[in-house]
Amino acid sequence: MRRALITGITGQDGSYLTELLLDKGYEVHGLIRPATDLSQSRIAGLCAEASVYSRRLFLHPADLATRAGLRELVGGVRPTELYHLASQSHVGLSHRDPEGTCEVVAMGTLRVLEAARALGGTVRVFNAASSEVFGGATQSPQDEDTPLAPVNPYGCAKAFALQAARTYRRSYGLHVCNGILYNHESPRRGGDFVVQKICRAAAAIRLGIEQELVLGDTGVERDWGHARDYVEVMWLTLQPEVADDYVIATGRVRPLQEVVELAFATVGLDWRDRVRHDPDFKRPVEPGRLCGDARRARERLGWAPRTGFEEMIREMVNAHLGRLAPPCAPA
């Protein structure tokens, strides 16, 4: 039985990846924050399954800020595959707390790489990089050879982590792959991310819970895919004998305004009656036209996204309708 260790296991990507690996017969270990309430987490359902939890799924409280504790955990689990997904991944928060972001994203990744190196080459590592490393890129689409040009603290921290992973691969022979992930969403996305915010607001307004949605610039464009599709390629990157970096993207850019229109259309409302724009919501600097060229993943790994943009947005809105709708009165 292959054994995987996932940092950030309770996050959007971590929860989908856990399900994928369990379906493939893995023993899965996850790093969680010491104060995590599993009953409210994205893996609550798996933790409630007696045939899974503590049999094929094991969770370990640990802190990426503690080098010794992380190395001890990795050395104790001795995974064959290590997926490093844990991160402070909110760009807006990185402007408010750049030091904290760099501590978690940059130094946390360095500690994971050191812990993996201590195993002596017996583990394959996936590092979740981000399209934000290309924030100021002058070419579009971007591929694995596009020069790094971050424009915010989060992008800077991810650029450090990506380069650190490349350095450990070249200098120490560590089998580590960077997955350069473009924006990816799902019903499990955190509520402070803009696409999830829009989808929830559309559902809440339809149900009469809220009255309006306030947004900044809806003209920004992104390459959006579904997290469920993206964790599949995370696994695929670690299967070849030679490690490399892979852009993970759909290759199609859409404006945020299209998310707004589709979300409100899903619930039968005209967005013009419910959406207000506030310039104070704009970020100091927005990345350029981030569009990923996933040709390497397609040709070497046989991967292509399966979930369309429209299907993804409808799925997210309908998930909120189900969560927010009041329970039916007893007969």
Instruction: Centre a 10 Å sphere on the Cβ of residue 239 and count the other Cβ atoms it contains.
Output: 9
Instruction: Give me the catalytic one of 15, 41, 130, 131.
Output: 130
Instruction: Give me the catalytic one of 132, 185, 221, 232.
Output: 132
Tokens 């380069």, residue? 163
Known catalytic membership, residue 154: yes
- Asked whether the beta carbons of 153 and 102 are under 8 A apart, the reply is yes
* Dihedral over alpha carbons 316, 322, 324, 330 (to 10 degrees): 180
Handedness of CA 42, 43, 48, 49 (dihedral sign): positive
- Asked whether the beta carbons of 28 and 58 are under 8 A apart, the reply is yes
The gap from C-alpha 162 to its chain's centroid, in whole angstroms, comes to 15
Known catalytic membership, residue 130: yes
| Dist CA 16 CA 274 (whole Å) | 33
The gap from C-alpha 5 to its chain's centroid, in whole angstroms, comes to 16
| Dist CA 71 CA 296 (whole Å) | 32
Query: Backbone dihedral region of 173: left (phi > 0), alpha (psi from -120 to 50 degrees) or beta?
Result: left
Give the 3-state secondary structure of residue 160.
helix
Instruction: Give me the catalytic one of 154, 168, 182, 230.
Output: 154
Known catalytic membership, residue 144: no
- Asked whether the beta carbons of 190 and 305 are under 8 A apart, the reply is no
- Asked whether the beta carbons of 223 and 181 are under 8 A apart, the reply is no
Reference 95, options 40, 153, 138, 151; nearest CA is 153
Length of the chain equals 331
- Asked whether the beta carbons of 249 and 223 are under 8 A apart, the reply is yes
Q: Which residues are catalytic?
A: 130, 132, 154
